[in-house]
Structures are given as C-alpha cells and as structure tokens.
C-alpha cells in the first residue's frame, strides 16, 4: 500500500483551502444579494404607504417579477424576501458575519427563522429588547462551527429559553394547523405533505426506517409467487399438487426462484429481485400502513412490534407540573411540556440526568451495570459525533474513541456514538492516507484529525444555555 508524498498532500491541502475560500466568496455574494432584496422591500413599503389600497397587488407584483427573472418559484422568492427583511432590520450581528463570509446563506435562513419566537416575544413585551442581540451573538458562534441542521436544533432550543412561555403558547396554537395536502409533481407522481407535531413526525420516520431495514434484510427469503396451472373458477397452483403426481412433471421450479411450465422448452420466467432503495421501501410501507392498516405480506415478515423512537429531555419540575418550561425533543428543538408529561406517563424508560453549570450531562441515575453507560451516552450525544452529522443516536454504533484493540478502555470518556459511515472512517482497514483518527477530551468533546492533518472539533450538546 503506497503512501501519499509530501507534494500530494500539499496539493490536496491547497485544493481544500481553495474550495473553502470559494465557499466564503459565495457567502459574501449571497449577502450582497440579500441586501438587494432588503432594499427592494423598502421601496415596496414606500409604494404601499403611498397607495395603501393596492398594498397586496404591489407586493404580489414584486414577488412575481423576481420569480420570473430568477427562474425561481414564487414561494422561494417570498421566503428570500422575508428572510432578507428580518436580517436587515433585526439581526445586525448575523448580517455582518454573513457579509464577511463566515456563515452561509443556509445558516442565515435557520438563524432568522428560529428567531421568530424571540422577535415575537420582544414585540409583545414578554422579553427585553436586549434579548435579540444576545440571540444574535450566540447564533453566530454556533453557526461558525456547526452545519445548518445542527444550527437549527441549537438555536430553536436557545430561542425557547429566551422567549419563555411564548414557545409553549405557539406550540399550542400551531397544533391546530395540522393538515394533509396533495400537489402534483409530474410524471404520474404527487407530493403528499403532512403537517403534524414534530415529535410524532420524528417517530413516524424512525418507524418507517426500521420497518424498511427489516424488509431489506429479509427480502432474499421471499418465496416465489407462481402463476396457477389452471386459472379456472378454482385455480390450481404448483404447491397444490402432490410430489408424486405425474402432472407435476410438466412444471419445474429451480433453486434460484426461476420456474418454467416445460423443463425441456425454451420459455423460462424469472421472478424479479427486490432492488428498491430504502427511500422507496419507506414510501411503499407508508402506502401499505395507510391503506391497509398493516404492512402487506409482499413486504416480508418480522415487522410486528416495531415502534417509532424519540428522545425527550424535560426538567423534573416541569414533569411534576411545578412549571411549564419547554421540554426538548433531542436533536430537533423545544417540545410542549404537556406532550412531555403525556409521553412520560406512557413510558417507563426515563433516566434522571445531572448537568454541570454549562449544561453538559455528567451523570445518569439508572440501575443495570452496562445499560447506564449506554443511556448516558444516548443522553449526552443525541446523534453521531462526527462534525456536522445528525444521525440519531439510536441508529448509531457506540465506538471506542481510542481503539479497544490498542488498549482503549470501555469507559464513558472513551465512548461515543458514530453512524456506520463515519465509524468506518477510523477503522484499521482504511489505508493510512485516508484514515481519520479521534481524541476525546474529559468534557466529551471529540477532536477529529483528518488525513491532511486538519483538526475538526465536535462538542456535546448543552441542555441548558441560559437560565
């Protein structure tokens, strides 16, 4: 196995640096585009003030023109204008970081939208005006080190704390907005959109994924479905004929699932193999479950008792009804306290978490000798610990950060959840030129070292950012 030369490494490092700089340049251009939209919105408001009876027409005309010129859907343009307006009016810190190329347009989108509850609380007098600059400061710090998806999860939790009871009230109101809609997608397909509480949607996707894995794992065990030999009023199938019946000689079934009605003839039919992707299997299972209540026999067996899984963190005082602080749907954001209490009443798998002053999980209160470690890690990690990955912990593997084969101990500070894809990056079978290594710090932070010698840090999520 050959190793890369110093020249090769320098070239790869240079390409990486150039790509990162291009991404920063793109972000700066996106910031300029956002400023242009904000300026256009100011002109539109001025026009509307002069012609208040035509306010709606003025706005729709502006959206339509930008949609046509940019070859974008009007919904996308509407969102872009809204985000640009809030960014310019309420988030100067985020706007500065965007202009400098430190954060991307995707980060800005998540920051601005997660801040909605904070802006509402400030406008209604339920939160102090200095809460929004505080949100901005933390948002930039988080966005500069996390992906947009992780940024969204962090900031929704932050916004819940800063806005206080506003989040609880918004969740109560938004529950009434659940709906199911259908729109055509072309070529005989359509998009079925379901708007429902986040904890239920998360559990539904998890259950579909687990069902799909069972189907894919067992599809090689499917029995061939053969055409009847006599398709009259009472059809006769090959399996209905006794082994010693002479008529069975006219019908042959081979071990690979291939069958023919005449073993000596040229006509051979093949049972098509199941080559569906996991997304396709999930979609087919959803159809079965909605239209037939249970997965159909064609999708295989072993699907009973698979239930959706979610992980919720809630304060003991909230669980006892002493306060109505929002709970957390781990990895997603705030959860209405009434829902958390209801879930607690139907589930016996809760563990008590002890947090340090910064909000890190430091201990769990459970019973069995090995399960407590697993529950601790699930509570601490929430998702795969490779930088930017959000694969839920229950779909990850627990990995020894320092290899067990090399003397790594099986203890909390040497264990972390990794999804299969990122776990394999540090596997000994990977060539030295492509293998990643990792080091875990006492607080659970993991430093990842790339083949180019770069360091990428992933810190465990804080449960409480402000009190």
The model's pLDDT over 182-226, given as tens digits with 9 standing for 90+, comes to 887 777 788 888 888 888 888 888 889 988 888 888 776 555 555
Rounded Cα distance between 156 and 183, Å, is 29
Structure-token pair, residue 411: 């203890």
Closest C-alpha among 454, 459, 415 to residue 437: 454
% of the chain at pLDDT higher than 70: 76
Contact 436, 427 (CB under 8 A): no
Kindly report the number of other CB atoms within 10 A of residue 460's CB atom: 19
- Under 8 Å between Cβ of 418 and 433: no
336, 169 Cβ separation under 8 angstroms: no
Please report, for residues 84, 193, 194, 397, the alpha-carbon distance to residue 213 in angstroms, rounded to integers and kept in the order given: 42, 24, 23, 16
Average pLDDT over residues 134-155: 91
pLDDT at 428: 82
Q: Does the structure show a pLDDT above 70 at 101?
A: yes
Rounded alpha-carbon distances, angstroms, from residue 26 to 73, 94, 151, 254, 293:
21, 16, 19, 59, 48
All residues at 6 or more sequence positions from 44 whose CB lies less than 8 Å from its CB, including other chains: 58, 59, 62
From CA 116, how far away is CA 158, in angstroms rounded?
12
Question: Which tokens hold the place of 180?
Answer: 């199911």
> What pLDDT, on a 0 to 100 scale, did the predictor assign at position 298?
52
Return the higher-pLDDT residue of 37 and 164: 37
Residue whose C-alpha is closest to residue 309's, from 420, 414, 199, 431: 199
Which is more confidently placed, 95 or 170? 95
CA distances 44 to 48, 49, 84, 217, 374, Å, are 6, 9, 14, 57, 56
Residue 366 confidence (pLDDT): 47
pLDDT of residue 1: 46
Closest by CA to 335, choosing from 178, 190, 167, 463, is 167
Phi then psi for residue 458, to 5 deg, are -125, 120
Q: Identify which of 143-147, 245-249, 344-348 has the greatest average pLDDT.
A: 143-147
More confident residue, 166 or 27: 27
Please state the rounded mean pLDDT for residues 154-170.
77
How far from the centroid of its chain's Cα atoms is residue 36's Cα?
32
Residue 441, pLDDT score: 93
> Domain-by-domain residue ranges, the chain?
13-163, 230-273, 351-458
Identify the pLDDT of residue 448.
Answer: 92
Q: Which of 27-31, 182-186, 296-300 has the lowest mean pLDDT?
A: 296-300
Least confident of 219-228, 259-268, 378-387: 259-268
Q: Is the pLDDT of residue 106 over 90?
A: yes
State yes or no: pLDDT of 353 exceeds 60. Answer: yes
> Higher confidence at residue 39 or residue 54?
39
pLDDT band of residue 370 (cuts 50, 70, 90) is low
Under the banding of pLDDT at 50, 70 and 90, the label for residue 29 is very high
Distance between CA 353 and CA 314 in Å, rounded? 10
Q: Which of 98-107, 290-299, 426-435 ranks highest by mean pLDDT?
A: 98-107
3-state class (DSSP) for residue 344: helix
Kindly tell me if the per-residue pLDDT of 386 is higher than 50: yes
Q: If pLDDT is split at 50, 70 and 90, which confidence band does 247 have?
A: low
**pLDDT above 50 for 467:** no
Residues 436 and 385: beta-carbon distance below 8 Å: no
Q: Would you call 159 exposed, middle or buried from its count of C-beta atoms within 10 A (0-12, 13-18, 19+)? A: buried
pLDDT of residue 295 exceeding 70, the answer is: no
CA distance 342 to 345: 5
Q: Which two tokens stand for residue 269?
A: 């039919």
> Which ranges constitute the DSSP H helices of 144-197?
148-163, 165-174
Sign of the dihedral through C-alpha 151, 152, 154, 160? positive
> With 80 as the cut, is the pLDDT of residue 280 above it?
yes
* pTM to 2 decimal places: 0.63
User: What is the residue-averaged pLDDT of the chain?
Assistant: 80
Rounded to 5 degrees, what are φ and ψ at 75? -65, -40
| Residue 359 binned pLDDT confidence (cut-offs 50, 70, 90) | low
**What's the mean pLDDT in 252-260?**
48
Query: What pLDDT is stored for residue 240 in this prediction?
Result: 63
pLDDT at 392 over 60: yes
Distant-in-sequence, close-in-space partners of 371: CB < 8 Å, separation ≥ 6: none
Cα dist from 354 to 112, 329, 344, 374, 387, whole Å = 32, 18, 18, 15, 25
């Amino acid at each position: 196995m050959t190793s890369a030369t110093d020249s090769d490494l320098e070239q790869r490092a240079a390409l990486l640096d150039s790509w990162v700089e291009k991404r920063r340049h793109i972000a700066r251009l996106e910031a300029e585009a956002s400023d242009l939209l904000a300026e256009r919105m100011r002109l539109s408001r001025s026009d509307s003030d002069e012609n208040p009876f035509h306010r709606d027409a003025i706005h729709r005309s502006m959206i339509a023109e930008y949609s046509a010129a940019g070859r974008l859907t009007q919904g996308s343009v509407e969102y872009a204008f809204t985000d640009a307006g809030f960014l310019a009016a309420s988030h100067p810190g985020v706007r500065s970081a965007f202009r400098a190329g430190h954060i991307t347009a995707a980060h800005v989108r998540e920051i601005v939208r997660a801040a909605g509850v904070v802006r509402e609380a400030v406008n209604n007098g339920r939160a102090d005006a200095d809460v929004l600059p505080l949100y901005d400061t933390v948002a930039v710090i988080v966005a500069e080190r996390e992906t947009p998806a992780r940024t969204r999860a962090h900031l929704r939790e932050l916004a819940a704390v800063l806005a206080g009871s506003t989040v609880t009230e918004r969740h109560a109101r938004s529950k009434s907005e659940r709906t199911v809609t259908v729109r055509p997608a072309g070529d005989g397909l359509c998009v079925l959109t379901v708007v429902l509480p986040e904890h239920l949607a998360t559990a539904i996707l998890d259950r579909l994924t687990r069902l799909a894995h069972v189907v894919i794992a067992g599809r090689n065990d499917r029995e061939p479905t053969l055409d009847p030999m006599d398709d009259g009023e009472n059809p006769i199938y090959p399996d209905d004929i006794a082994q010693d019946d002479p008529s069975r000689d006219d019908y042959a079934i081979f071990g690979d699932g291939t069958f023919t009605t005449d073993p000596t003839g040229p006509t051979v039919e093949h049972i098509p193999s199941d080559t569906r992707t996991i997304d396709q299997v999930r979609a087919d299972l959803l159809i079965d479950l909605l239209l037939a209540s249970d997965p159909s026999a064609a999708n295989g067996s072993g699907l009973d008792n698979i239930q959706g899984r979610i992980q919720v963190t809630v304060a003991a005082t909230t669980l006892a009804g002493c306060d109505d602080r929002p709970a957390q749907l781990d990895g997603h954001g705030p959860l209405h306290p009434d829902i958390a209490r209801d879930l607690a009443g139907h589930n016996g798998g809760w563990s008590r978490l002890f947090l340090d002053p910064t909000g890190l999980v430091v201990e769990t209160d459970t019973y069995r000798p090995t399960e407590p470690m697993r529950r601790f890690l699930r509570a601490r990690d929430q998702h795969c610990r490779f930088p930017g990955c959000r694969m839920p912990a229950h779909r990850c593997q627990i990995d020894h950060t320092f290899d067990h084969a090399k003397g790594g101990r099986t203890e909390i500070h040497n264990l972390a959840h990794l999804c299969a894809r990122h776990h394999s990056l540090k596997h000994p079978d990977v060539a030295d030129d492509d293998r990643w290594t990792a080091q875990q710090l006492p607080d659970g932070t993991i430093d990842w070292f790339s083949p180019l010698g770069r360091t990428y840090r992933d810190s465990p999520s804080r449960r409480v950012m402000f009190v």
